[in-house]
Chains A and B, each alone.
Chain A
Amino acid sequence: MKKLAIFIVIISLVACENEIINLTPISELTTSNFFESEVDFNNALTAAYDVLQEKNSIDWIMSEIKSDNGTEVKYQSEKDIDNFSVSPTNELISQFWKIAYKGIFRTNIILEKIPGVEFDNTKKDRIIGQAKFIRAYIYFDLVRYFGDVPLATKVLKLTESIEHKRNSVDEVYQQIETDLQEAAALLPSVYSDPKDIGRVTKGAANALLAKVYLTRGKYSESKTKLEEVMGDTQASYQLLPSFKDVFSLSNQNSKEILFAIQYSNGTGGEGNDFMNEFGPGTPGSDVSPGVGAEHNLPTVDLIRAFEPGDTRKDATLREYIVHPTTLDTVNNPYNRKFLVNQNVNDCGLDWPVIRYSDVILMYAEVLNELDDLSGAINQLNRIRERAFGDQLHNFDLSSIPTKEEFRIKVLNERRVELAFENHRWFDLVRTGKALEFLQVENRLEDWKTGAILISFELNMEPFETLYPIPLDEIEISEGNLTQNDGY
């Protein structure tokens, strides 16, 4: 009997440990049993793309409202960004930071896990290429908004993350360039399966790389990449005949789009709410039911940047609304580029990140910087011919005699062509024109008389080309993250 008792004790001691205290979740996967197949990686990649939608819901505040294109009248933290009084406690920059790094984390975990798993190499390369593009795309925004930022290229442990310091702008750009070069090498020009439309392509990676080079002043590298994009016969990028059609539900992922953040209506959660965000709050507009929140309103400066006869103005904004019953016209400018007749919180219209006209304008800019002014003017005219529907508005060497004057013309052309597409702020900073343009912002005019009704002194200072590092992040890092000068 004694033996039996001892036997029972020993059995229970030895046998049970694994079954009792080394348990893993039953109804959920964990990182130790996920990342094991192509399907898992595709799911994880989708989750990385998903962050782009989330990021895009703040991007327009960080760039357009900050710039002289858009203005904000409602929410304090948006108004602070609009008015150049951003504090390190601003909730939007903290949100942006967290979303951006969530996206980076989701690409890092894919890139870290995928080498250890065997499956079809072509499919694997495509996943790697897309993940690298997404990582580079987000870092490109981070480095432009915040300057030196922590460069995480792997999954971080808690203590590592606290101790992580900011990396220099050069280091971050080095990583972005490497990622994009590799992405371009791994990705196809077009996807044969229609189900894959909307994914990152070789052209997208090259075009983004060209923009990185342009931003860094590497004009000849940029030129090479832009020519690669323009010479991509498989993708055969081209401008659509009419500017307005680029932003229509029937032309999504058209030949003009190199990369767009995808939305779709009626799928349960994959639509955008830009009708709600940008739409006017009063009825009478051509598309909106009048329940919009009226964010990101066009400034007078933007309205006046359009030359007479430019078809892009009408496709981009409206200055007034005619009241449906009284037929009074009221000064109620709104941004209509992304307004479509769908459910205000569930619209399918994609958000272009890189359009072919951006590629052409970058090419024009690069040619000018490389002293090919007439080549540059030719490229610029391609954009203008579509915008005005004729050649009467084309430039030539007599209208733009110098490199410097071309810089001004192309900056304005980019402004009206790409208005509300989140380029203006970066263009102003990149070209060193931010301080010049962002001293006074005219925000409301009487559309009939042209009298300025609201004008605001921005008084931008040099340090304000960068956002402050969010204070909560500095505090959590126990001071390992430092603040940008001036904040």
Chain B
Amino acid sequence: MIGRMFKVLLEKKLPFVLLLSFIAISAAGRDSYRTKFDLASNRNSVREVFQTSDNGSTKQPQDRNISGTVIDKDGVPLPGVTVILKGTTVGTITDVSGKFQLTIPDDAQTLQFSFVGMTTQEVPIGNQTVFNITMSESYTELEVVVVGYGTMKKSSLTAAVASLKDEKLDQMPVGRTDLAMIGMLPGVSISQSSSKPGDEPIIRIRGVSSITGLNDPLYVVDGVAINGDLGSINSGDIESIEVLKDASSAAIYGSRAAAGVIMVTTKRGTGLKPVFTVNSYLGLKTPAYLVDDYHNAQDAFDYSVKVSDSNWLLAGGDPDVPMWDRPPQYRPDSLYLKLGDTDWQDELLRNALIQNYEISSNGGTDNIKYYISANVMDDESNYIIGNYRRYSARANIDAQISKKFSLGLSLTPSYSIQRRTVAVMADMMKYPPYIPVYLPNGEISAADGSRYARTLDFFTNPYIKGKNPVAESTGTKDMYYRFNGFSNLFLNYEIIKNLKFRTSVALDYAYLRNPYFMTTYANKDSRTEANINYSENTNILNENTLSYSTSINRHSFDVIVGNSFQKNSNYILSMSVTNGSIPNNKIETMNAGIVSDGLTFMEQWGLISYFGRISYAFANKYLVSVSYRRDGSSRFGEDRKWGSFPSASVGWRINEERFMDNLKVINNLKLRLSYGLTGRTPAGLYNQFARIQQGFNYTFGSGDGSKVIGSTQGTFGNTELGWEKTKEFDLGIDIGVFKGRVNLESDLYYRLTTDLLLDNPIPGITGFTSTTTNIGEVSNKGIEFLLNTRNFVGEFKWSTSLNYSKNINRVEALGDLDRLPLETSKKGMWFLTEVGRPIGLFYGYKQTGVWISQAELDSNPFFPGSKPGSIRVADSNNDGVIDQNDRVILGNNKPDYEFGIKNDFAYKNFDLSILINGVIGFDVWNMELSYYRENRHYVTDVQWFSEQDLGNGWTPANRDGVDPRDTDFYIEDGSFWSIRNVNLGYNISSNIFKRNVINNARIYIAILNLYLHKSKEFHSYNPEGLTDYQSEATRPGVNFGSEPLNRTYTLGVSLSF
């Protein structure tokens, strides 16, 4: 392993050199940067710069130096505390040992010390030159969370909002922000269904509530509802992530909030002297949790001996006839031992690198503040091909134009290149081990001119035809080029004190270009194939709000009203060439072939919204919040365009009551109760229209006639279609004890989704057979808790964050139906969606072993065609016949519960954090195992071969009877827990850097997926790996062979200066 690591590092040393020179250049350029920025600011800081850069020689007599140390109440130094001369931009940040130095003008008045989670302190300066400050923790009182169209003190919150502020989010080597959030938030289930770099995980907030609609949350970035997901956002730019889980917090986003809302707030300028931050890491990814029981060539031969022998006996052959005297079809093929011995897993997987480089600058003046960043991330696949590289930049600028006027601008271009593997792992791994990767003796294949070997090169009728997997992977290019240009301009105007008007215009433009090219040596028919899909999305949003907040005596009010206009346009282009018309593998673009098929398509949707919210608090004790949103959507007919989404919530801060005064141990106790209504629009944009479709052709004319194109109304067009509606109750309790050392947040919820959008049969006399209608109900109920404890404070620090969530999903009604028509996958199995049960259960025959003898078959009911060795299934309804009525529920892909545990330790200059996550009690259909029935020991070693050689496994040599894919044969328990991430850091003391150029430096080692504990009966690569129907609620848990997870060893450095 170490040898391989070195080999890769040597091959790829370039990035390291890049990293080092990047840091060096950044550090060297730091002074000039600072001078440039500071010249633009006020005189004070200009003086301060002169002082620093000229080593004190031009020091002005009226300035003076102050210094000091900031510690917490346990005497532990606090690094990163902002020290600022109040009312100016003169300031600094404490170093690792909590120390700071500052040059201030003689007439300076007050110093301000602030730090996240601590009470801000102001200290008069006077003649003092040394300041030793002890900061105290602020419990939760001052913590602010972002909610829809505003922020709120966490203590006043009456809804269920999960908040994530993690400075090390960008230090986890995962390539995408959403993957870094796994296990961190209760009620937010994020599963990594694919290990392909750049692929998005499946995110479900409080379960699945829609049967046909999308269950993906709405993403709101800096207040703007975007069209995409978090893929284009650099983790380092994120200040905080809030998830609006209950309907009362999400209802302000109305018709799109039923699956929850994920809000991202990015970093903005502080208005202080510039601080540069660099975070870079380099990680070595190794394929993890591999399968180690594949057959080698000898095993394949031995197995073929057994199968041939078994077939001979089954056919009534004389067991005494020696094997080599039997007819050819009953003889093993000795060629298996003569060709090669390929470990395809080894050939198809590799060690790979993940690299991340980001730099940001944060600063400004009183009037202009900025946060600017740039990021390059490169994530290679552990599969022999595959890569994801993303370039992104961000400029967040805020300007105070006048006392009342301010404006802000965000520009966030990002561009990514992803090469995806097309084939699934199982498709590859079923290739026989006795086939070499390359033809022997440097031969060239006559079929495609390549050196790759195929089964057909050696066998006339092999059981697997087609190209070898190395040829197929390397010869297929499936590229995704994504550009996302997000910009947002906003303007604030304070009309009178506390009454603010804000207007914003956001443009979210994205394109996706997906060219596909298959070479002759990858294609089973030895010909080239090429096509392209291109799509463009333009999203324009204008929002206008008026907000007012005031406190009169013990009453405080926060009011916001606003409106929002959004329009989204899609443009799609796709083209393909006649297969084989590109004559060689050298040119991949379609100009080289004959374009045979192409189309362009456009569609639009729009949304107009009016909304408002009133929050009221009495004596900071009794809290009430009411919100209302009215949405008008282009997706519905005239009478159904508008929908209303109200919500209400109340909170009672019991710890503020007088009777709690004696219970000092409880510093926070709050009860919350909320109710809200949210909606979901149908996936189709024009359901209300009866659309004209083409292709209803006929033939007229003399002789044989010629084709005449026909077109007419092809969809029924339901003008009565309306929203899916979700109502949700949430009861929550927040408890803080021991002065905030232990905090618990817990929520119970009940969520009912009604008016589900289902394709429902309609009378044939309409001329149509079905249309989308609002029928059916689904409920989700559950419990969540988050427990934060600070176990040790002082020099050795240890804090723990534990979260747990459990959700129960149930179909409540399906109109007149008890169950939806059974669905099936392309490879078998049925999926049941039935009233009274969770959506999308595995459904089929219950396997009870294999038929071991003809005698056993003769005395029991069996599936038609069964023979000894066939799968035996239960006569579930005990009617003495095995037929389709014996199908039963076989499993559920929805977990019993999920949890995450994060432990943070710190001692002196070291810090360590360990994240564990677990998903318990869910089934997956590992259909991929059916591909391995002839080449993995765990399948072949237990197979039934004859009445003398019994086994409890199905024999593929005898394929009669029930197909194992229609039974629970391949359903396995996916439960797992894993040590998801370990991050060990060392903070380098700042005084080792010359002239204190660097404020903070942290070197860290991060290990992703250190350990995975999975069920013993699980035989596939990734328990959460899914390959098909991921967005369909009714067909969950289908795995045809997703790639292995990876373990990543990372070395990183994070600097600020």
Chain A residues engaging chain B, CB cutoff 8 angstroms: 1-2, 5, 8-9, 12-13, 16-17, 19-32, 34, 43-53, 94, 97-98, 101-102, 104-106, 108-109, 150, 152, 155-156, 158, 161-162, 164, 194-199, 249, 252-253, 262-265, 267-270, 348, 470, 472-473, 475-477
Contacts and interface: CB of A to CB of B under 8 A. Distances in A.
B767 A473 contact: no
A25 B699 contact: no
A94 B761 CA distance: 13
Contacts, number: 219
Contact of A46 (B698, B713, B769): B698
Interface stretch (B287-295, B528-536, B561-569, B981-989): B561-569
Contacts of B604: 23, 26
B700 interface: yes
24 contacts: A2-B495, A16-B565, A23-B605, A25-B689, A27-B600, A28-B692, A34-B692, A46-B698, A47-B712, A50-B696, A50-B698, A50-B710, A52-B698, A104-B765, A158-B718, A161-B765, A262-B698, A262-B699, A262-B700, A265-B704, A267-B705, A267-B707, A473-B765, A477-B763
B700 A101 contact: no
B602 A161 contact: no
Given A50-B697, A194-B702, A197-B701, A106 B606 contact: no
Interface string B209-245: 0000000000000000000000000000000000000
B608 interface: yes
B348 interface: no
B44 interface: no
Indicate the member of B503, B566, B604, B713 with the most A CB atoms within 10 Å.
B713
B404 to A, nearest CB: 8
B763 A197 contact: no
Given A2-B495, A199-B700, A28 B691 contact: yes
Contacts of B703: 252
B543 to A, nearest CB: 9
B865 interface: no
Nearest to A1: B493
Contacts of B702: 194-195, 197, 253
B538 to A, nearest CB: 13
B764 A47 contact: no
B634 interface: yes
B767 A105 contact: yes
Closest 5 CB pairs of A and B: A105-B767, A46-B710, A20-B606, A47-B696, A47-B710
Given A253-B702, A265-B704, A25 B691 contact: yes
A197 B696 CA distance: 19
Given A43-B712, A101-B766, A265-B704, A21 B608 contact: yes
B709 interface: yes
Given A21-B641, A105-B767, A262-B699, A252 B704 contact: yes
B520 to A, nearest CB: 28
B634 A22 contact: yes
Contact of A26 (B603, B697, B713): B603
Given A12-B544, A198-B700, A270 B565 contact: no
Indicate the member of B606, B632, B816 with the most A CB atoms within 10 Å.
B606
A105 to B, nearest CB: 2
A199 B567 CA distance: 47
Given A27-B601, A263-B699, A20 B544 contact: no
B32 interface: no
B57 interface: no
Contact of A198 (B608, B633, B705): B705
Interface string B602-619: 111111100000000000
Contacts of A477: 763
B698 A49 contact: yes
Interface in B546-604: 563, 565-567, 600-604
Given A5-B493, A46-B710, A267-B707, 9 more contacts: A25-B685, A29-B691, A30-B689, A34-B692, A50-B710, A105-B768, A156-B767, A158-B720, A477-B763
B749 interface: no
Interface residues on B, range: 35 or more
B700 A29 contact: no
Interface in B967-998: none
A416 B718 CA distance: 49
B885 interface: no
Contacts of B718: 158
A97 B503 CA distance: 57
B562 to A, nearest CB: 9
B1015 interface: no
Q: Is the interface of B mostly helix, strand, loop or mixed?
A: strand
Indicate the member of A2, A12, A269, A475 with the most B CB atoms within 10 Å.
A12
Contacts of B712: 34, 43-44, 47-48, 106, 109
Nearest to A31: B690
A25 to B, nearest CB: 5
Interface in B677-735: 685-686, 689-693, 696-713, 716-718, 720
A348 B766 CA distance: 31
Given A164-B765, A262-B698, A158 B771 contact: yes
A175 to B, nearest CB: 14
Contact of B634 (A21, A94, A104): A21
B596 to A, nearest CB: 13
Contact of B761 (A32, A150, A476): A476
Nearest to B600: A27
Nearest to B700: A198
A15 B604 CA distance: 18
Contacts of A164: 763, 765
B501 interface: yes
Contact of B602 (A8, A13, A27, A49): A27
A319 to B, nearest CB: 31
A325 B227 CA distance: 68
B708 A46 contact: yes
B762 interface: yes
Given A195-B700, A252-B704, A43 B766 contact: no
Given A26-B604, A194-B701, A197-B701, A44 B711 contact: yes
Contacts of B567: 19-20
A105 B710 contact: no
B766 A30 contact: no
B542 interface: yes
Indicate the member of A26, A47, A156 with the most B CB atoms within 10 Å.
A47
B704 A12 contact: no
A23 to B, nearest CB: 4
A11 to B, nearest CB: 10
Contacts of A44: 710-712
B890 to A, nearest CB: 27
Nearest to A98: B764
Contacts of B717: 30-31
Contacts of A196: 700-701
A152 B768 CA distance: 13
B697 A269 contact: yes
Contact of B765 (A31, A150, A199, A475): A150
A162 B765 CA distance: 9
A270 B692 contact: no
Contacts of A12: 542, 544, 563, 565
Nearest to A158: B762
Nearest to A473: B764
B634 A23 contact: yes
A131 B617 CA distance: 70
A28 B687 CA distance: 12
Nearest to B689: A30
Contacts of A263: 699, 705
B348 to A, nearest CB: 40
Nearest to B642: A21
B130 to A, nearest CB: 48
A12 B766 CA distance: 41
B681 to A, nearest CB: 12
Contacts of B503: 5, 8
